[in-house]
Structure 1
Amino acid sequence: MRAVVYSQAGDPSVLEVVEREPGEPGRGEVRVRVVVSGVNPTDWKSRAGATGQLAFPEIVPNQDGAGVVDAVGPGVDGIAVGDRVWILLAAHGRPTGTAQELTVVPADRVVRLPDTASFDLGAALGVPAVTAHRALTVAEGGPTRLAPGALDGKIVLVAGGAGAVGHAAIQLARWAGATVITTISSPEKAALATAAGAHHTVDYTTGDAADAIRDLAPGGVDIVVEVAPAVNARLNHAVIANRGTIAVYANNGGDSMTLDVRAHFSLNVRYQFLLLYTLAPEAIAAATHDITAALEAGALPVGEEAGLPLVRFPLERTADAHAAVESGVTGKVLIDVTER
């Protein structure tokens, strides 16, 4: 089978396409024929050495994907050969991700993909959708699960609504009943966020973003889904409601931030940092359950008309796919691995 591998950290040129024997699923594992692999920032950062010394002599990158179960190991219930599935955390703690024709993963890292959902959509879930779900379910007083009505009466601010996590957060929050505001940096990105379902967009490059958000939400924002906490700390304080939550899932724009302690504790503000790879298994299971319900309801479409353009590469150009994500391309980067 064809696989993309790297054996040293570095720029995308360390990725190479090789022939490898497919692995056999052991107890509690399944093998999936990968149709589409999804690329996330975490994938190129790991390849570039952000996590330090490589954990394995050879690594197949990419956490997310979608395909068809090809083989099932002993002790696996609820997943059968032929099932269409989406994959998450394929390469977490393991040397083999989804940038290969056949990948072996623990059974709890595959989720059945509804017949109405495409492989492209399945490959675009994983890291973005589970992260967005967690960000929307950590606020004081809940909800801890998402469903229609779960966020009724809540106002959610999504920072960077044109990104993959921002896109999923807009869709999930809208599906759950929230009023969604998102910050963007151009009319083009405003159009994408609106297509995703945002009720309001605020261009933070023009005028006073805090005043614009307060005009839309005089009582303040209940949940902020935050990608750039260091850059947005002052803005978040200016718009957060009493007992509001700022859920931080990335460090775009800087690793350190300064907070006015008194101003924040007087509002009972909760800062919740979250990282998908260290979430409790129960939180991931809850997310995949709710995301599946949203899929079945048709609430998580992808594509430019849905606010998330798809940028495609063949498996042989995985290095270019990583470079595109690293350069900040707008949209979701997908790799076509095998025939549909």
Structure 2
Amino acid sequence: MRSIVYTHKGSPDVLQLVDRDPVEPGPGEVRVRLVVSGVNPTDWKSRTNTDPAFPEVTPNQDGAGVVDAVGQGVGHLGVGDRVWLYLSAYQRPSGTAQEFATVDAAHVVALPHGVSFDVGASLGVPAMTAHRALTVLEGGPERLSAGALAGKVVLVAGGAGAVGHAAIQLARWAGATVISTVSSDEKAALARTAGAHHLVNYRTEDAAEVIQAIAPNGVDIVVEVSIVQNAELDAAVVGPRAVVSMYADDAGSTAELSVRPNMSKNTRYQFVLLYTVGAEQLRAAAEDITEALIAGALPVGEAAGLPLVRFPLAETSAAHRAVQDSVVGKVLIDVAD
């Protein structure tokens, strides 16, 4: 089979196309014939910053395809099932940038009828991160469903990104009023298409003033991509007992929080990292995302507010470079011909 591998950390140039034998699934594992692999910032950051824990690693956490073989003890999946994968390469060498991936069956989810492989490969890190960010409000729902966030106001920072896009879609499906900050008219159009009720261009408007006018009682949940940049804004616009869910690290920068504005509102700051969120939370996210998929709530593509940027498997290094360069849209790798 064709597989992309790397043996040491570095630039996208360390990624190599090789031929390898498919790995037979052991107990609790399945082998998936990949159709589409999704690329996320975590994929290039892992490749750049950390020497691999295995002699050879295939990158990319997310993907979608068809179950090819099932290991002992796996009862919820069968050969021929259409599936999506998440955290495929976490503490394992077998990511989705290859034709066949042998992975932990717990991280493989049935793809509902009619949902495309493109959608499946775009879920994983973005949608599950968004789910966690939306379910940590004190007194709010721990699970998402239609109407679960009715009456709540959600602010999505950077609504044109993959996590922001999924957060808008999930919050809208769950009944929240959704505000999104953006940096350009182009990104505003994408966030609006994704379902945001209100758009705020933080480069041309007084974001705090505009958001306060939209939500005079304050925002309940902030899905935050850059706490370093937005700490002051978040403190100004949140309401009592709100939560700021932070899912990006700004390359290790340090954020400064004003004590009095946050203390007076009992604001909660919640870090979100999918790798260590816990198995129960991952299962809950997968189940709720499945319900959202059945409801048609998580489409991708330019018509849904998330343009798809495609590469063939042999050009995985270019796909990683595109994500590293902050291309607008979701980067997908076509694994199958």
Shorter-chain TM-score bucket reads over 0.9
Written as runs of structure 1 = structure 2, the 5 A alignment for 1:204-243 is 204-243=202-241
TM-fit CA distance, 1:78? 1.2
Q: How far is 1:254 from its partner?
A: 5.8
SS of equivalent to 2:289 = helix
Question: Which secondary structure state, in structure 2, belongs to the residue aligned with residue 70 of structure 1?
Answer: strand
Distance in 2 (CA, whole Å) between partners of 1:269 and 1:66 is 38
Preserved contact between residue 230 and residue 253 of structure 1 (Cα < 8 Å): no
Q: Secondary structure at the match of 2:88?
A: coil
Equivalent residue, structure 2, for 1:64: 62
What amino acid is aligned across from residue 4 of structure 1 in structure 2? I
AA in 2 matched with 1:7: T
Q: What is residue 129 of structure 2 aligned with on the other side?
A: 131
**1:54 Cα deviation from its structure 2 partner:** 2.0
**SS across alignment from 2:131:** helix
- How many Å separate the matches in 1 of 2:202 and 2:140? 29
**Cα deviation, residue 116, structure 1:** 1.1
Residue 259 of structure 1 corresponds to which residue in structure 2? 257
Report the CA distance shift for 1:229/1:123 in structure 2 as closer, same or farther (over 3 A): same
1: CA distance between counterparts of 2:308 and 2:137?
31
State how 1:1-340 maps to structure 2 within 5 Å: 1-49=1-49, 52-252=50-250, 255-339=253-337
Q: Does the 8 A contact of 2:243 with 2:268 survive in 1?
A: yes
Instruction: Output the CA distance in 2 between the equivalents of 1:333 and 1:32.
Output: 20
In the alignment, structure 1 segments of 5+ residues that lack a partner are none
Aligned partner letter, 1:95: P
SS at match of 1:18: strand
CA distance in 2, matches of 1:207, 1:169: 23
Any idea what the Cα deviations from partners look like across 1:183-223, whole Å, max 9, x if unmatched?
Answer: 00000000000000000000000121000111111111000
Does structure 2 conserve the Cα–Cα contact (< 8 Å) formed by 1:231 and 1:254?
no
CA distance in 1, matches of 2:184, 2:132: 27
**How many Å separate the matches in 1 of 2:51 and 2:57?**
12
CA distance in 2, matches of 1:48, 1:193: 30
Could you list the structure 1 runs, at least 4 aligned residues long, displaced by more than 4 angstroms after superposition.
Answer: none
Which shows bigger deviation, 260-269 or 65-74? 260-269
Please state how far the C-alpha of 1:286 moved relative to its aligned partner: 0.4
Deviations 1:3-62 (A, max 9, x none): 00001111111001000010000001000000000000000011112xx33211111000
Deviation of 1:255 (Å): 1.6
Q: Secondary structure at the match of 1:104?
A: strand
TM-score (norm 2): 0.99
Deviation at 1:284, TM superposition (A): 0.5
Mapped to 1, the partners of 2:310 and 2:87 lie a distance apart of 21
- 1:42-96: CA deviations, max 9, x gaps? 00011112xx332111110000000000000011001000000000000000011
Deviation of the 1:138 alpha carbon: 0.3
**Percent of pairs identical after alignment?**
65
Using the TM superposition, give the Cα deviation of residue 259 of structure 1 relative to its aligned residue in structure 2, in angstroms: 1.2
2:326 & 2:80 partners in 1: Cα distance? Answer: 35
- What secondary structure, in the 3-state scheme, does the structure 2 residue paired with 1:38 have? strand
Distance 1:231 1:56 in 2: 36
Q: Partners of 1:193 and 1:253 in 2: how far apart?
A: 24
- What is the Cα deviation at residue 253 of structure 1? 6.9
Tell me the distance in 1 between the aligned counterparts of 2:27 and 2:130. 31
CA RMSD in angstroms comes to: 0.8
Tell me, yes or no, if the aligned pair for 2:212 and 2:218 is still in contact at 8 Å: yes
Does the CA-based 8 Å contact 2:236-2:261 persist in structure 1? no
